[in-house]
Amino acid sequence: MRYLIASILMTGFIFSCNKPVYKYNSDFEGKWRTVSAYDSIINETVASEIVIEGKDGAYYNSCRDTCTEHLCDCIVTQTGKAVMNSSKDQMKFGSSNYAIGVQKEPNQDANGNWSMIIDNKTFYKIQ
């Protein structure tokens, strides 16, 4: 029980000095999606998506990509204020206690294509 309480307090401490993602780095703003890939655990082709619009954001993880133009039936959905922790290696959406890791911030290649690595997945800016 002590470990659970310590974990909850540590999560609160990690995000006690958070900053809205769009204020930290405006390059995060927009709609980002991973390339669709087969997930053998759930036996589906899935993709993930991150949307940052001002202070609001959404994280859709492991979603079916066969639902017209939008992702659907996501394993994880988080929405709300998008914040970055003070060490700039995790972000969180809304009131969720689950922080996602930021391995590589948004960057633009020589051809003008944007990418970032979040939660060990490569996301590409689609708008």
> How confident is the model over 64-118, as pLDDT tens digits?
877 766 788 999 999 999 999 989 999 999 998 889 999 999 999 999 999 999 9
Cα–Cα distance for residue pair 96/109, rounded to 1 Å: 32
Q: What are phi and psi of 37, to 5 degrees?
A: -145, 155
Q: How many structural domains are present in the chain?
A: 1
**Against a cut of 0.85, is the pTM above it?**
no
Report residue 37's pLDDT band, with 50, 70 and 90 as the boundaries.
very high
Which H, E and C letters describe the chain, residue by residue?
CHHHHHHHHHHHHHCCCCEEHHHHCHHHCEEEECCCEEECCCCEEEEEEEEEECCEEEEEEEEEEEECCEEECCCEEEEEEEEECCCCCEEEECCCCCCEEEEEEEEECCCCCEEEEECCEEEEECC
Minimum mean pLDDT among 15-29, 35-49, 82-96, 99-113: which range?
15-29
Alpha carbon distance, N-terminus to C-terminus of the chain? 45
Residue 17 confidence (pLDDT) = 62
Give Cα 23 distance to the centre of its chain: 16
Name every residue whose Cβ is closer than 8 Å to that of residue 18 and which is 6 or more positions away in sequence: 83, 84, 85, 86, 92
Q: For residue 29, give its domain range.
A: 2-125
Higher pLDDT, 102 or 7: 102
